Amino acid sequence: MEDETWDLCEIGHRPLGSQEKLSVTVIRRTTARVARDAPRIAISADLARESVTNALVVPSWRAGDDDIFNVRKQVANDERAWRTREIVLDGQVVKACEREYKGRWVVYHLTPALIVLVAAPVALRPNCVELRSLGTDEVMHGNDDD
């Protein structure tokens, strides 16, 4: 997407008969520019992983718990807990990283410009992750309760 105002797109899926939600999120990986007309600079893979880790930590974090930023950093930096997994993205098999934490599951893939992640309760963790770009006519806009 070339629109400068676009930073995040999330699509939620609630399986029939479940109150749990699986979400697919695409976040712009690029950040600030060094000059007005210069290209945006992609954040590092480490910082991208910390961003993805929010999907694991935030749902179980409560005020009064440990500092969420330190917890997020610890979860993101625990290399032994992250596994490599292949997913299909727009028809191509790509390498992704996945992790479980306190009943949550996340898998993500980095492109040069995007962070593509799927997050859900562990109970909804699919055996196969296959994602494709959606056309504008395939997306219904709504609120979190839809």
Q: What is the DSSP string of 1-36?
A: ---TT--EEEEEE--TT-S--EEEEEEE-B---SST
Confidence (pTM): 0.79
Q: How many domains does the chain have?
A: 1
Please check whether residue 145 lies inside any domain of the structure: no
Please check whether residue 109 lies inside any domain of the structure: yes
Q: What is the pLDDT of residues 113-122, one digit of tens each?
A: 889 999 999 9
Please check whether residue 128 lies inside any domain of the structure: yes
- Residues making up the chain, counted from first to last: 146
Query: Where do we find the tokens 């997050």?
Result: 119
Please check whether residue 1 lies inside any domain of the structure: no
* 75 compared with 142, residue with greater pLDDT: 75
Please check whether residue 50 lies inside any domain of the structure: yes
* 75 compared with 66, residue with greater pLDDT: 75
Beta bridge partners of 1: none
Please check whether residue 89 lies inside any domain of the structure: yes
Query: Where do we find the tokens 């060094």?
Result: 34
Domain assignment of residue 23, given as a range: 8-138
Please check whether residue 2 lies inside any domain of the structure: no
Please check whether residue 69 lies inside any domain of the structure: yes
Whether residue 1 is predicted with pLDDT greater than 80 in this model: the reply is: no
